[in-house]
Amino acid sequence: MNECIITARFSTWLAKFTVVQVYAPTETSSDEDKESFYNQLQDVLDSLPSFDIKLVMGDFNAKLDGDRRGMEATIGPQSAPRKAPVSDLYENFNTLNIPDRHNFQLLVLIHKFFYHKEKLPVIFTSYFNANFLFHNYDTHNRDNLHLARCKTSYGLKCIKYKGSNLWNKLPSELKLITSINSFKCKLKNYVRALS
């Protein structure tokens, strides 16, 4: 750890949560300081228990491009509408931007649901359902995850709906990968190509 990254782990009856609070170097900091910070942050994230729900928050000292569609609850309006070299940082450090990282983590959760349930908190072991459990018709969406009806815009952002929707849009060759490491590697390339 360093003085700019702290973690706290909470245990609830539902699951274990790890909160990572950060204060990133500013734009005027040296490239070495920035690279060191993001490498340390990645090391911290990699060292957390895989079954924990992780929340990364804090001051990333970044200026985003203002496109917050679908992420209004995650990225505040103070980020818009300035253009800055933060996209260069993501590319240089071979990492995903915050909205893509969010989608990446949701898809990893669902991959674990299918192939590695033992790595999930108990609450998620029966969280998602395939369409064939709801009807016997042989449709092209039969093996997709069931999308529950949402009556509010909040419902469209919940893990169950958003995660299922993202999973259903994945190419079949990605969905069939059983190794978690191979899946993460190919998924990262796939998500990056969509950006």
Per-residue pLDDT, 149: 78
User: By mean pLDDT, which of 10-14, 33-37, 87-91 is the weakest?
Assistant: 87-91
Residues 117-172: pLDDT tens digits? 888 888 877 788 876 666 676 666 667 887 877 778 877 778 888 888 898 899 98
Question: Can you give the pTM of this predicted structure?
Answer: 0.57
Q: Tell me which residue has tokens 């949560």.
A: 17
pLDDT, tens digit, 9 for 90 and up, residues 41-85: 888 888 888 888 888 888 877 655 555 566 555 555 555 444 446
Listed as own residue / partner, the contacts of 178-182 with beta carbons closer than 8 Å and 24 or more positions apart are 178/115, 180/108, 180/111, 180/112, 180/115, 180/116, 180/119
The residue extents of the domains of the chain are 5-96, 102-194
Within 25-86, strands assigned E span: 53-59
> What's the rounded Cα separation, in Å, for the pair 143 and 118?
22
**Per-residue pLDDT tens for 20-32?**
888 888 878 888 8
pLDDT for res 40: 87
Number of neighbours of residue 151 by Cβ within 10 angstroms: 7
